Amino acid sequence: MKAITCSAPGGPEVLQLTEVPDPVPTPEQLLVRVRATALNRADTLQRLGHYPPPPGESEILGLELAGEVEAVGTAVKGFAPGDRVFGLVGGGAYAEKAVIDARMAMPIPAGWSFVQAAAVPEVFFTAQETLFTLAQLKAGETVLIHAAASGVGTAAIQMAREVGARILITAGSGEKIERCLALGATAGCQYKERDFSDWVQEITNGEGVDVIEDFIGAAYWERNLRCLKSGGRLVLVGLMGGAKVEANLAVLMTKRLQVFGSVLRSRPLADKIAITERFRSQWLPLLIAGRIQPIIDRVFPLARASEAHRYMEENRNIGKIILTVE
């Protein structure tokens, strides 16, 4: 089969379309003819050599897929060749074929395209687990979502809107803020023009926010703590601004703050199956009904994966970047 491989750690130019052996499904897996996959920041980190796949997972990039079942493992029930499926994988989706544990695979709803389905798993699973399973965001609370025009950010805005939260966001341009407001955000701060922590204090009349969804890490640490109310919850989803901080623990204690960290890729399979089930019961019906939707920025063919990576690293996208596999 054809797949995108890395000639060596480095920039987008190291991504090459090459011939590799077909994956072989275990008894619990499906072999899927991939029709679409999507970019995630984890892909760019792996390409740079900073985020190796968990043991046993494919070295090929790609954490989500949509396609058609080509073969079914001997222990699998409920799927047959030709079924249209989508789901989260630990790697391997930048390819013509990939394997997925059958308990992680979901039937693609009627009327959905492969592109639409491929844009869902990573971002909606992440927003679900961080905002709701960990931070327990509720109706009437205020959430601050950083990098709000990203795939996870656009999913998180819509999900927070559905539960009745007040949604403050940061983004890097006026266009991105306008798109986020159209999705349901209450107000936005262009972080390149002013300090977001001053803006949060101003817009909340000094009260702060209940929950913060943060992809930046160290560079935002002090300002995030300033933005939180007493009893507030900070969820760290990414470390784009560094991983190490010097912390004043007294602030955490006196404000009774909670700090959560979250990754999906290295979680045990049992956890990922439970996450998939929560999504299927709580959020997939809203996607099928059209009340929330994946936001898709651009679609590239698989052979142009390097161009897609460059586009992501320039922070030009609003929502998901998709790769189609012909």
pLDDT per residue over 266-301, tens digit each?
Answer: 999 999 999 999 999 999 999 999 999 999 999 999
Residue 122 banded pLDDT, cuts 50, 70, 90:
very high
Alpha-carbon span 139 to 300, nearest angstrom: 38
What is the CATH architecture of 123-261? 3-Layer(aba) Sandwich (3.40)
- What whole-number percentage of the chain has pLDDT above 90? 99
Where residue 111 falls (left for φ over 0; alpha for ψ -120 to 50; beta otherwise) is left
Alpha carbon distance 42, 50 (integer Å): 9
Q: Are 60 and 20 in contact (CB under 8 A)?
A: yes
Q: Could you give the percent of the chain with pLDDT greater than 70?
A: 100
Confidence of residue 118 (pLDDT cuts 50, 70, 90): very high
Contact (CB, 8 A) for 232 and 210: yes
Whether 24 shows a pLDDT value over 90: the answer reads yes
Q: Taking the domains of the chain in order of start, what are their residue ranges?
A: 2-120+265-324, 123-261
pLDDT, position 175 = 97
Q: Is the pLDDT of residue 326 over 90?
A: no
- For the stretch 59-97, pLDDT in tens is 999 999 999 999 999 999 999 999 999 999 999 999 999
Classify residue 204 as exposed, middle or buried by CB count within 10 Å of its CB (0-12, 13-18, 19+): middle
Fold for the domain defined by 2-120+265-324: Quinone Oxidoreductase; Chain A, domain 1 (3.90.180)
pLDDT bin (cut points 50, 70, 90) of residue 221 is very high
Three-class SS of residue 164?
A: coil
Do 313 and 44 meet the contact criterion of CB atoms below 8 Å apart? yes
* Kind and range of the H or E run holding 171: strand 166-171
pLDDT for res 263: 92
Mean pLDDT, the chain, rounded, equals 97
